[in-house]
Amino acid sequence: MAQPLIQVTDLKRHYQMGGTVVRALDGVSLEIQPHTFTIVMGPSGSGKSSLLYLLGGLDRSTSGEISIGGERLDQMDENALALFRRRTMGFIFQSYNLITSMNALENVAFPMQFTGILPAERNKRARQLLEQVGLSDRSHHKPSELSGGQQQRVAVARALVNNPSLILADEPTGNLDTASGVTIMQLLSELHRSGRTVLVVTHDPRMTRFATHKIFLLDGHVVDEDEYQSATLEIPQA
Ligand SMILES: Nc1ncnc2c1ncn2[C@@H]1O[C@H](COP(=O)(O)OP(=O)(O)O)[C@@H](O)[C@H]1O
Ligand SMILES: [Mg+2]
């Protein structure tokens, strides 16, 4: 077996809420191989976002180890983490997180402001990425002038500006109708086929057909598929 790209060992993220502790992640261990398309399935509240934010270096764990490409995220300081994130990862959110005052092209170009790439080059690259997600004809539209599916395609393009080898997506289809959701998953699938590692968390079982690997989360724990299926089984309508 190849060296895993992501290795997580006994990861915990506990939130103190007044007098009680919410164990969002309570001892998660997992491995993700490079060039895979992994889907993390879990019902609402199972810890999916907590896991993804930790993998993306956007949050700090309570305890446990996270290695990506052999580097320990849990041991990095904020600067190292920010640099690592910019160098290796693209992050896609459920709610797109576009800047409302900027058009599609400006949104995609925005993260390149901090990289030393010259404006003309930023513009060119942003255009290429919008073309890749099929939105060349919408480059001057603001987010409010785009459908949800189009906004998420802009967000996918933006996640690609630094040519990340790892793409993390938190319920990227959660706010979309089925057809737009499938378009986004197909885009992510293309990125996987082009050699990237893709990790998507979702509670939508329809999205699992795009995956090469599946991980199941329940109450902050990784469980096997049988346990997951029996715990989340819906009672059939009579
Ligand atoms: N910032 C926070 N403060 C307190 N509790 C939180 C916070 N974020 C998440 N939680 C709790 O942690 C659990 C897991 O949340 P989350 O990772 O967002 O799950 P999911 O993404 O699967 O819906 C939930 O019970 C949630 O209420
Ligand atoms: Mg979530």
pLDDT digit string (tens) for 196-223? Answer: 999 999 988 888 888 999 999 999 999 9
What is the 22 CA–ligand 1 centroid distance (Å)? 8
Distance in angstroms (rounded) separating the CA atoms of residues 82 and 120: 25
Note whether 158 and 190 are within 8 A (CB). Answer: no
- pLDDT tens digits for 147-196? 999 999 999 999 999 899 999 999 999 999 999 999 999 999 999 999 99
Is 169 within the bounds of a domain? yes
Residue 114: the pLDDT is 79
12 has a pLDDT exceeding 60: yes
At 203 the pLDDT is: 85
pLDDT at 235 over 60: no
- Kindly list the protein residues whose Cβ atom lies closer than 6 A to any atom of ligand 1: 15, 17, 22, 24, 42, 44-50
Between the CA of 129 and the centroid of ligand 2 the distance, in Å, is: 27
Q: Which CATH number covers residue 73?
A: 3.40.50.300
pLDDT band at 113 (very low <50, low <70, confident <90, very high): confident
Residue 195 within any structural domain of the chain: yes
Sign of CA dihedral 66, 94, 48, 188: negative
Ligand 2 centroid, distance to 74 Cα (angstroms) = 21
**Residue 168 contacts by C-beta under 8 Å, 6 or more apart in sequence?**
52, 55, 56, 89, 90, 91, 92, 199, 200
Both tokens of residue 149?
């599916």
CA 26 to chain centre: 21
- Residue 162: which domain range? 6-232
| Most informative mutation of 17, 25, 44, 49 for ligand 1 (most atoms within 8 A of CB) | 49
Ligand 1 atom closest to 217 (CA): 22
Domain count, the chain: 1
Q: In this structure, is residue 100 part of a structural domain?
A: yes
pLDDT band, residue 115 (cuts 50/70/90): confident
pLDDT in tens, 33-80: 999 999 999 999 999 999 999 999 999 999 999 999 999 999 999 999
In this model, does residue 237 exceed pLDDT 60?
Answer: no
Does residue 1 lie within any of the structural domains?
Answer: no
